[in-house]
Copies of this chain bind each other. A is one copy, B any other.
Amino acid sequence: MDQPLMDRVREAALRLQGELADERTPFVYDEWYVAAFDHEVTRTPLARRILGVPVMLLRRTDGGVMALEDRCPHRSMPLSLGTVDGDHIVCGYHGARFGCDGGCSSVPSQTVVPPGARVRSFAAEQLGPLVWIWMGATPPDREPPHLPWISDTEGWRASRERLYLRSSYVRLHENLLDLTHLSFLHARTFGTPDYASAPYESKIDAATGHFSLLRRVVPTRLPPVWAKPTGLEGVDAARITSSTFHSPALHEVHARFHACAIPEDEQPSRAIRTAHIVTPETATSTHYFIHHGRNFALEDGEITEFMHGQLLAAFQEDIDGLEAIERNLANYPPGTAHEISFRADGPSLAMRRWLKKRAVG
């Protein structure tokens, strides 16, 4: 292929990319995002930047969650550096006092509160182990996503972790929607060589913004992380995985395993589920919360530890890879690195097209 032809390929690819979300696309504000795990929100203010906005999170006296913009409207001091007094936060600079709704109730150096002294407050709701926040300019028009298997621990054994990714959240969703990378990025952890070429079905629902991919690797040998805990070590097994993009904030990966030698419905259920919870911090950094559950070997604490360690090693490979990509792209003038997509990118491209539409209207 000669240079002029390559230039035309590049231009055509960049034209297509113009319709897809990437790190230069505005955030989708009208959405529920996870601000924190439940245990992170205490009576000591927590400062966390969410969709570019500094936010202060505080456990209210009634157990609820108070979420305010983390900037005193007087002289921009982070409110999270102030002191807590009941359900009020007192700014650590000049003592302005703000309540849960962001209203200023007193200014110590004067008797009247100045008009307009108010910070943005954000709707925040705790569901099970997750604290959800709504960053939109208008009030939430729906409930936060409900994941019963996360909240109701009956029948599931779980572990959790908060990770941090120096890369665009769009790339993380794309990573999760196309698991053909398991054979390569995760060759040393939970990938197997047959994964990339296994048959798959994709579902694209651009109306509701649900995108998923189902992949059946049958027969296969399970990697150590699943083989040992399921008891399917060294036998032909089925590994059936689905990735589902629920929202800019949430991705679920489900998998089930069974021995090939016996009909699936004659075996005990061996299922795992991972909620990949994605909260953009800035255009190129992401809070990344993991909630992982399994429905087998429930009482075995060693298996919990073993699987958690193995999974985190694999997710760190994703982080390392996505950060390498983000750093690599920083070598190029913005918007000049073209992408040639593969067939397995179908759901991911649809997802990025949908994100871009939602973000820029």
- Taking Cβ atoms with an 8 Å cutoff, the residues of A that contact B are 1, 3, 6, 9, 12-13, 49, 52-54, 70-71, 73-78, 81-82, 90-96, 103, 107-110, 114-118, 120, 137-138, 171, 174, 178, 180-181, 183-185, 196-197, 321, 324-325, 328-329, 331-332, 337-344
8 A-B pairs within 8 Å (CB atoms) are namely: A1-B103, A13-B116, A82-B184, A93-B325, A94-B184, A94-B344, A95-B180, A116-B340
* B76 lies within 8 A of A9 (CB): no
**Are B76 and A6 interface neighbours, CB within 8 A?**
no
A21→B342 CA distance, assembly (Å): 43
The minimal Cβ–Cβ distance linking A127 to chain B, given in whole angstroms, is 25
Which B residues are CB-close (under 8 A) to A93? 181, 184-185, 321, 325
Known: A1-B118, A103-B1, A108-B183. A328 touches B76 (CB 8 A): yes
Minimum distance in angstroms from A53 CB to a CB of chain B = 7
Report Cα–Cα, A207/B77, bound state, in Å: 31
Residues in B neighbouring A13, C-beta threshold 8 A? 116
| Closest A-B pairs by Cβ, 5 of them | A9-B116, A108-B196, A109-B180, A109-B344, A95-B184
Contact A184 B91 (CB under 8 A): yes
Q: Are A94 and B180 in contact (CB under 8 A)?
A: yes
Chain B residue nearest to A54 (CB atoms) is B331
Q: Give the chain B neighbours of A197 by CB distance below 8 A.
A: 108-109
In the assembled complex, the CB of A15 is this many whole angstroms from the nearest CB of chain B, namely 13
Which residues does chain B contribute within 8 Å of A118, judged by CB atoms? 1, 6, 9
Q: What is the CB-to-nearest-CB distance from A351 to chain B, in angstroms, rounded to a whole number? A: 14
Q: Across the interface, do A73 and B338 meet the contact criterion of CB distance under 8 Å?
A: yes
* Closest B residue by C-beta to A13: B116
A54 touches B178 (CB 8 A): no
Could you tell me the distance between the alpha carbons of A6 and B108 in the complex, rounded to whole angstroms? 23
Q: A73-B339, A196-B95 are in contact. Are A328 and B183 (CB under 8 A)?
A: no
Q: Which residue of B lies closest to A185 (CB)?
A: B93
Give A94 to B82 CA distance when docked, in angstroms: 48
Contact B109–A74 (Cβ < 8 Å): no
| With A3-B137, A93-B321, A108-B196 already in contact, 17 other A-B pairs whose C-beta atoms are closer than 8 Å | A9-B115, A52-B331, A71-B337, A73-B339, A75-B174, A76-B339, A94-B178, A94-B180, A94-B184, A94-B344, A95-B180, A95-B196, A96-B342, A107-B342, A108-B184, A109-B342, A114-B341
